[in-house]
Copies of this chain bind each other. A is one copy, B any other.
Amino acid sequence: MAETKKGLIIVHTGPGKGKTTAALGLALRAVGSGLKVLMVQFIKGSWHYGELDAAKAFGDKFVLRPMGRGFVKLGGEIDPEDKRAADEAWAFAREKIFSGEYDMIILDEINYAISYGLLAVGPVLDTLKRKPEMVHVVLTGRNAPADLIALADLVTEMREVKHPYQKGIEAQRGIEY
């Protein structure tokens, strides 16, 4: 097969730490290479002060857009407000994917929004199939749908080997948030 250059569909999934963090690293590397990056937050709680403040150093080269509400409770009914927030985040992200304004769009925790029924996977797959060729799209969150993994170019699963909460160490500013 001949080698080609194209925008990649990248998925960070699995139960371990580092899915959003590795997406931030991708953003940093991309911005450093002159690309413009947009990161849309589908679920509030996946990022915090650290990245929002750091992104400011890059001005309009790295835009973070928090649009989600809090993590949804397992087994609970879907709050229409959560669904509305996810729909709005998706409509915004979808438009930006096609807008030509950004070289990389990170859909942070979108897998979570899909797996909890806040967002349908069909329109997401459809958009990825028809995205502008050179745009990179990064999708994070546990439980990535099988059809998304099948479509993606690069999929990494983060597996948790050990977590500090197991040792009684609390979450710390600059590390966890």
A residues at B contact (CB < 8 Å): 1-6, 8, 10-14, 16-18, 20-35, 47-55, 57-58, 103-104, 136, 149, 152-164, 167-170, 172-175, 177
Q: CA separation between A34 and B27, bound complex, in Å?
A: 19
Given A30-B174, A30-B175, A33-B49; A161-B155 close (CB under 8 Å): yes
Given A23-B25, A32-B55, A54-B31; A172-B49 close (CB under 8 Å): no
Q: CA separation between A32 and B176, bound complex, in Å?
A: 12
Closest 8 CB pairs of A and B: A32-B54, A1-B168, A24-B25, A29-B50, A21-B25, A33-B174, A25-B25, A155-B161
